[in-house]
Structure 1
Amino acid sequence: MTDSSNIRFNSEAETWDLNPDVQSATRSALSCLLERVPAFSPERSSKPRVLDLGAGTGLLSLALAPHASTILSVDPSPGMIAALTRKLSHASAPHNITPLCALLASSTDPALPDLPSGDTSGDTDAPRQKQKYDVIVSNLVLHHVADLPAFVQLTYDLLAPGGVIALTDFEDTGPEARRFHPEDKMEGVERHGIPRADMLQLLQAAGFAQPSVEVGWVLRKRVERFPGEWKDGKLPLADGEAPCEMDFNFLFITGRKEVST
């Protein structure tokens, strides 16, 4: 994330939750996760440890809280993490979410929590190992990631054996996918959606077993009629004029880290 894009997300943190498209994508992502990730099944004897990468204001983390044992919610924007921290300060907030403001560079990043002391090999002089996660989620983040192969590898390295990733973002279906963002919101956009075949190759290259890249849902979204239309705010439509809308495929991207034998 660049400094200028961080400024953008800091400035939007206070109103982020009011965006109906963000709310819709969060609800749909939650439904896919609960339906398709066995670790979230209520029949399981234990709940998973979850890592939410690019958590923003915590919309998805908060929705997943009842289905997880712990959630580490990571975002590089101080404004976004501050908004989540305020939510967690309420008496009714869940107690199993930990916010972390960081742009992770590797699976051994010092910002990441260590394993609890009881989970070490007993060698007190050995470097502390980092906590691993049963499920790693990320919603509407991949198109902001500059180095996508490194990000995919990071998720693999942070998984516990047998753990899964479940990432969601809109699909690159061609030049029209650019219209997902208005022209004045392009700061921090590294790509206009995720190419399905390329993403599958990245999962395979990182070592994931059972990689899958499928359409999870379709988001109907209002878009600019011409580039820059919303530069000074969304202009009111003339009487009887219908807004310009498009359907965007959202990919549900999964892979498993095999248990070593």
Structure 2
Amino acid sequence: MGNEHFDQVAESWDDDPEKVARAREIALAVLANVPVRPQARVLDYGAGTGLVTQALLPHVGPVTLADSSPGMRAVLQRKVVDGGLPADARVWDLDLELQTAPPGRFDLIVCALVMHHVRALDTVLEGLVGMLDPGGVLCIADLDAEDGSFHAHRHDFDGHHGFDRGELAGTLEQAGLEHVVVSDCTTVVKEGTTYPVFLAVGRRPEQD
């Protein structure tokens, strides 16, 4: 799926209080499940407008926000200028389905409602795990397996209809992570239907 939809909604994304609240809930779940150090280097992959990162800011160190949507990156850059994000925050144009992982290592990588849009899941996970420092943690918040109704209005959607938690845990282990735990995180309410969102947490071994 292309970036056109996200380019179109980027400017108004933060106007939805449910999106803001959900990002905060995801950040709180990350903090509850990961012993985050104040100096932790964070990558928010598929960051959108950076709401999850903004909620994490009081608890972490330097942040990098990556998104393939020019519209979303424009909002991120404006937040850096306006002070909504730190002046030293890095904004990357990155799509790991099409690009190799850039140099740089992180202690924590967060992906919030991103992976169900990813077609080449194994490729993206390989890139993300490769950017973790040994001992670093990958956190994926995403939809439980659903019947396809979540994106029924999107003619161009070609991703996943959520994930089976056990299958995803196995995929994360195959990608090189250990101590994988999947737990309840939050929900998305859409057109009267409530869709559960999980948080999957996995750690890159200290020694590969």
Q: Give the TM-score normalised by structure 2.
A: 0.90
Q: What residue is the counterpart of 1:22 in the other structure?
A: 19
Within 2, Cα distance between the matches of 1:75 and 1:24?
A: 21
Match of 2:205 in 1: 258
What residue is the counterpart of 2:39 in the other structure? 47
In the alignment, the residues of structure 2 paired with residue 150 and residue 108 of structure 1 have an alpha-carbon distance, to the nearest angstrom, of 9
Match for 2:110 among 132, 137, 142? 137
- Indicate if the aligned counterparts of 2:10 and 2:49 stay in contact, CA closer than 8 A: yes
- Give me the identity figure in percent: 31
**Residue correspondence of structure 1 range 166-177 to structure 2 within 5 A:** 166-172=139-145, 174-175=146-147
The residue aligned with 2:135 is 162
| Aligned residue among 90, 93, 104 for 1:101 | 93
Give the superposition deviation at 1:141.
0.3
How far is the alpha carbon of 1:106 from its aligned partner?
Answer: 7.9
Q: Aligned residue for 2:182?
A: 213
CA distance in 2, matches of 1:133, 1:91: 23
- 1:38 match: 35
What is residue 160 of structure 2 aligned with on the other side? Answer: 191
Where does structure 1 differ by over 6 angstroms across 4 or more consecutive aligned residues? Answer: none
- For the 8 Å contact 2:24–2:51, the answer to whether it is kept is no
Quote the offset at 1:251 in angstroms.
0.9
- CA RMSD in angstroms comes to 2.1
Look up the equivalent residue of 2:179 and give its one-letter code: Q
Residue type at the aligned position of 1:135:
L
Deviations 1:175-225 (A, max 9, x none): 2xx2223x33353450111221220110111121101222223x25132xx
The one-letter amino acid of 1:191's match is: H
The normalised TM-score by structure 1 is 0.73
Inter-partner Cα distance in structure 1 for 2:16 and 2:43: 24
Task: Give the gaps of 5 or more residues in structure 2.
Answer: none
- Name the CA shift for 1:87/1:52 in 2 (closer, same or farther; >3 Å): same
Shift of 1:144: 0.5
Matched position secondary structure for 2:180: strand
Query: In the superposition, relative to structure 1, how do residues 160 and 171 fare at CA in structure 2: closer, same or farther (>3 Å)?
Result: same
Residue in 1 aligned with 2:150? 180
Q: Kindly indicate whether the alpha-carbon contact (under 8 Å) linking 1:142 and 1:148 is maintained by their aligned counterparts in 2.
A: yes
Asked if 2 retains the 8 angstrom alpha-carbon contact of 1:65 and 1:97, the reply is no
CA contact (8 A) 2:42 2:62 kept: yes
- Partner of 1:9, secondary structure, is helix
- Give the gaps of 5 or more residues in structure 1: 113-129, 224-244
